[in-house]
């Protein structure tokens, strides 16, 4: 590759955990072509702050001259253990597009060059369906389950739809005509399977751009279905502050620390994109701590120079500022607010029915007509 292509590749590779088959991306750049990349999201629970990670990567891909497709995977949402009932999917798709555009605009990315595609717009076509049958015939139940183990809800008697989910995601690479797919570390098994399965159908294998996963507030993976692990993008500032205050962040422990993960994968990259890569921690009785490098922050935390008590408020403040444009866009859009109510209707409170006890007929105050007549005296 020439210097220009190498610089583009370096930007594509930046902040990734891994690139599977990087030579495929390099060859596209060497041809002088713009790599076509897709990122898909199943339209299930409300997007959370973890979505900033792919959004920031998408910003870099656009800066590197890539064509970026965002797949709103409505069929996948339904297949994954009915996480999104069919009657809600249409509005959840609209909600997701609104949120994703707002996230990207919040970090200064123009969404004009993005291509949004609805999964059901092509996944129900005869050709796609036939390819799904063909791939089903070539894939074992064991391999299908293994490939989706970390992305599809698992249970002892899971629906068959969960086995179809990874097959559809593999076929999407061909039908969206991409050179690479962007996704988290939790999808790595599926990405490896895709490189093996697509050639069986006569299709070329693709590269995979693997982003690191943001640890949740409770220490594990940040998930849309786990309220304790995440901060929703429309959570008000007081809720953000409360969730961060209650989050697990043991002193001196860096691993699986969701608060540090937010700084590393969201706040510092977003600040860099805005033109000034730094994270500031105010202290009551000392000079503020200013970090431009995540390793320095981790070292200070390990050595108890930076404590959870000082880090948490700083993260809450920075995250609130980052999310402010999303909140403003939501408040300015009655259409978005209406879509939200339709996509995520509030649960209907069930009134408790007072159980009528059968007291029999001989309790005090019973209707005399209902009493059992006495036996006549002889």
On whether both 249 and 286 belong to a single domain, the answer is: yes
By the 10 Å C-beta count (0-12 exposed, 13-18 middle, 19+ buried), 276 is classed as: exposed
Residue 228 falls within a domain, yes or no?
no
CA-nearest of 65, 47, 51 to 8 is 65
Residue 335 falls within a domain, yes or no?
yes
Alpha helices in the chain (DSSP H): 3-13, 22-30, 52-63, 74-79, 86-106, 126-138, 141-147, 161-175, 188-197, 237-246, 258-262, 268-273, 294-302, 308-331, 334-343
On whether both 266 and 123 belong to a single domain, the answer is: no
Residue 353 falls within a domain, yes or no?
no
Residue 274 falls within a domain, yes or no?
yes
DSSP string, 101-135: HHHHHHTT---TT-EEEEGGGTTTSHHHHHHHHHH
pLDDT at residue 79 in the model = 81
Residue 373 falls within a domain, yes or no?
no
CATH of the domain at 292: 1.10.240.10
- Phi, psi (rounded to 5 degrees) for 79: -70, -30
Question: What is the Cα–Cα distance from 361 to 370, expressed in whole angstroms?
Answer: 6
On whether both 7 and 69 belong to a single domain, the answer is: yes
Residue 303 falls within a domain, yes or no?
yes
On whether both 143 and 277 belong to a single domain, the answer is: no
On whether both 161 and 266 belong to a single domain, the answer is: no
On whether both 306 and 241 belong to a single domain, the answer is: yes
- What total of structural domains would you count in the chain? 2
CA-nearest of 104, 146, 120, 109 to 42 is 120
Terminal alpha carbon distance of the chain:
117
Tell me the per-residue pLDDT of 160-187, one tens digit each, with 9 for 90 and over: 888 888 999 999 999 999 999 999 999 9
**Which residues of the chain are modeled with pLDDT < 70?**
81-84, 154-156, 158, 219-228, 349-378
On whether both 85 and 14 belong to a single domain, the answer is: yes
Q: Is 33 helix (H, G, I), strand (E, B) or coil?
A: coil
Residue 363 falls within a domain, yes or no?
no
pTM: 0.83
Tell me the per-residue pLDDT of 65-90, one tens digit each, with 9 for 90 and over: 999 999 999 998 888 756 667 778 88
Residues in Cβ contact with 372 at an 8 Å cutoff, skipping those fewer than 6 apart: 361, 362
On whether both 245 and 154 belong to a single domain, the answer is: no
80: domain range? Answer: 3-211
For residue 256, give both structure tokens. Answer: 């699986």
On whether both 166 and 310 belong to a single domain, the answer is: no
On whether both 206 and 321 belong to a single domain, the answer is: no
On whether both 41 and 142 belong to a single domain, the answer is: yes
pLDDT at residue 295 in the model = 96
């Amino acid at each position: 590759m020439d210097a220009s292509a190498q610089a583009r590749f370096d930007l594509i590779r930046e902040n990734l955990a891994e690139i599977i088959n990087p030579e495929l991306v390099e060859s596209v750049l060497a041809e002088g072509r713009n790599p076509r990349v897709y990122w898909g999201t199943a339209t299930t629970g409300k997007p959370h702050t973890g979505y900033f990670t792919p959004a920031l990567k998408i910003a870099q891909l656009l800066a590197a001259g890539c064509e970026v497709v965002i797949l709103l995977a409505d069929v996948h949402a339904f297949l994954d253990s009915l996480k999104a009932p069919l009657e809600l999917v249409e509005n959840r798709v609209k909600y997701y597009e609104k949120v994703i555009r707002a996230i990207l605009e919040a970090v200064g990315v123009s969404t004009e060059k993005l291509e949004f595609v609805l999964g059901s717009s092509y996944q129900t076509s005869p050709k796609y369906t036939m390819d799904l049958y063909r791939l089903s015939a070539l894939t074992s139940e064991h391999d299908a389950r293994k490939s989706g183990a970390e992305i599809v809800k698992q249970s002892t008697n899971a629906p068959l739809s969960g086995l179809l989910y990874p097959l559809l995601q593999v076929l999407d690479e061909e039908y969206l005509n991409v050179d690479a797919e962007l996704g988290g570390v939790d999808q790595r098994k599926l990405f490896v399977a895709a490189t093996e399965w697509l050639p069986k159908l006569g299709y070329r294998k693709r590269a995979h751009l693997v982003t690191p996963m943001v640890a949740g507030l409770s220490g594990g993976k940040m998930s849309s279905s786990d309220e304790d692990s995440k901060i929703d993008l429309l959570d008000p500032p007081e809720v953000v502050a409360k969730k961060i205050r209650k989050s697990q962040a043991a002193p001196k422990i860096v691993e699986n620390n969701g608060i540090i993960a937010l700084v590393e994968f969201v706040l510092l990259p977003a600040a860099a994109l805005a033109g000034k890569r730094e994270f500031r921690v105010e202290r009551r009785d000392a000079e503020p701590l200013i970090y431009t490098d995540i390793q320095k922050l981790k070292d200070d935390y390990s050595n108890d120079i930076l404590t959870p008590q000082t880090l948490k408020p700083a993260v809450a403040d920075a995250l609130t500022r980052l999310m402010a444009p999303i909140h403003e866009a939501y408040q300015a859009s009655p259409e978005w607010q209406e879509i939200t109510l339709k996509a995520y209707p509030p649960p209907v409170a069930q009134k408790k029915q007072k159980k009528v006890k059968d007291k029999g007929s001989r309790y005090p105050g019973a209707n005399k007509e209902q009493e059992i007549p006495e036996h006549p005296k002889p």
